[in-house]
Amino acid sequence: MLIRPRPWFAVPAAALALAAIALGLAVLAAQPPQAPGQFRPRPAEGRDPELPPPSIREYKPRSTLVVPQHPVPRAKFPAIDVHGHPPSPTSATEYAQVVKSMDSLNVRLMIYAGNNNSTRMPAVLAGIKSSPNPDRMVAFTNINVSDVGPGYGRRAAAQLETDVKAGAKGLGEIMKGFGLTARTSDGSRVKLDDPELDPIWETCARLGIPAFIHTGDPAEFFQPLDYSNERWLEMALYRDRRYFDRSRYPSFNDLMAERDRLFAKHPKTTFIVAHMGWHANDLGRLGAMFDRMPNLYTEVGAILYDLGRQPRAAREFFTKYQDRILFGKDSFQPDEYPYYWRVFETNDEYFDYYRDYHAFWKLYGLGLSDEVLKKVYYGNALKIIPGLPRAGFPPV
């Protein structure tokens, strides 16, 4: 008996579908591997420029994009800068100049986090109190995390309590040397969750003051300095921002694990993690920390470049965690604050960041609601930092 092949339309649909999938997989397998984020090879691959290429510092293309621009010289609502490093308030002249700049920006209150230890605390507090504008600045005290050994934690906690009684409103900014370079009395690295330091965090809880901690630096600083590192230029410019030598420094994730154990170990202590914990490029990770640790808050100093390149995700994050984020600037450069106002308050597109070695990409506005802005700019700081001047702040 002669068996004739069935026409294609007589083949079951499932078999046709399987054949199509197999063909598609075969075609994909035959293609060369794709670069991350690329659906096909770039047209210029395999070709060299006919002209000498510029260096990374020389290539500054003019944008031809024409979109609405809405610069914001003053914050929409009065702001509290919880991460302030202005000139020392011990100088009356410099204090007056700082207040003048704050007025122009609508920064109502600045927290002076510039102490490297508590020895300068009396002079700092006296400078603020004796100024014509004592309600425009408050100070945090600090601890000198070095030569940590038996009894260090109790001594540091006692000094902390003395400084708070004298007028300090919190602890910090404890700088990044804590965890990176600070050493114990036996020469080993001080770990962030070292039990010797427990009395310090317990004293913060008992006094009801926050501990403001800067841990590490961006994750890329801990990676090899090669051309795939998006912070190559900054690391090439600044030798002290290279932490990829594992014989000298812990890995980024090991350091952050110590930090997270510290926060979880002291649930009654309010912690402010500086620079969004260096997780502004991984908001899911920071959100998971917020979900696990109700005692944790953060601030936005020096990470605007990461927020501005993901405006939709960042807006959703700020809306969801609006009760946990504070405004902070870090370096006191008055002409840089308006970039923050513009990112937070507008929906502007594709505008410059203020430091090219931080980011070679452009920024986009988040367009935050007034409710969120009020909490970020001042409401959350008033909530967690005791004894702040409250004049001039609208109700939240």
At 34, give phi and psi (nearest 5°). -95, 150
C-alpha 244 chain-centroid distance: 20
- Rounded Cα–Cα distance for residues 174 and 171 (Å): 8
Range of the domain at 218: 140-327+344-384
Number of domains in the chain: 1
pLDDT for the residue numbered 8: 44
CATH number of 185's domain: 3.20.20
Residue 394 included in any domain = no
Q: Measuring CA to CA, which residue among 84, 75, 142 is closest to residue 107? A: 75
Residue 253 included in any domain = yes
170 Cβ contact partners less than 8 Å away, ≥ 6 residues apart: 111, 140, 141, 204, 209, 210, 211, 212, 385
Tell if the pTM clears 0.85, that is, is over it: yes
- Rounded Cα–Cα distance for residues 371 and 94 (Å): 34
Q: What is the per-residue pLDDT across 213-232, written as a single tens digit (0 to 9) for each?
A: 999 999 999 999 999 999 99
Residue 239 included in any domain = yes
Residue 200 included in any domain = yes
Residue 74 included in any domain = no
Residue 15 included in any domain = no
pLDDT tens sequence for the chain (396 residues): 444 545 444 445 555 455 555 554 454 455 555 555 555 666 666 789 999 999 989 999 999 999 999 999 999 999 999 999 999 999 999 999 999 999 999 999 999 997 777 788 999 999 999 999 999 999 999 999 989 999 999 999 999 999 999 999 999 999 999 999 999 999 999 999 999 999 999 999 999 999 999 999 999 999 999 999 999 999 999 999 999 999 999 999 999 999 999 999 999 999 999 999 999 999 999 999 999 999 999 999 999 999 999 999 999 999 999 999 999 999 999 999 999 999 999 999 999 999 989 988 999 999 999 999 999 999 999 999 999 999 999 999
Helix/strand/coil (H/E/C) assignment for every residue in 231-256: CHHHHHHCHHHCCCCCCCCCCHHHHH
- Do the beta carbons of residue 327 and residue 81 sit within 8 Å? yes
At 274, give phi and psi (nearest 5°). -70, 155
pLDDT for the residue numbered 245: 97
* Helix, strand, coil shares, percent, the chain, to 5: 40, 10, 50
Residue 28 included in any domain = no
Give the percent of the chain with pLDDT over 70.
88
Burial 157-184 (b: 16+ CB within 10 A, else e): bebbbebbeebbbbbbbbbbebbbebeb
At 166, give phi and psi (nearest 5°). -80, -15
- Do the beta carbons of residue 326 and residue 299 sit within 8 Å? yes
Residue 120 included in any domain = no
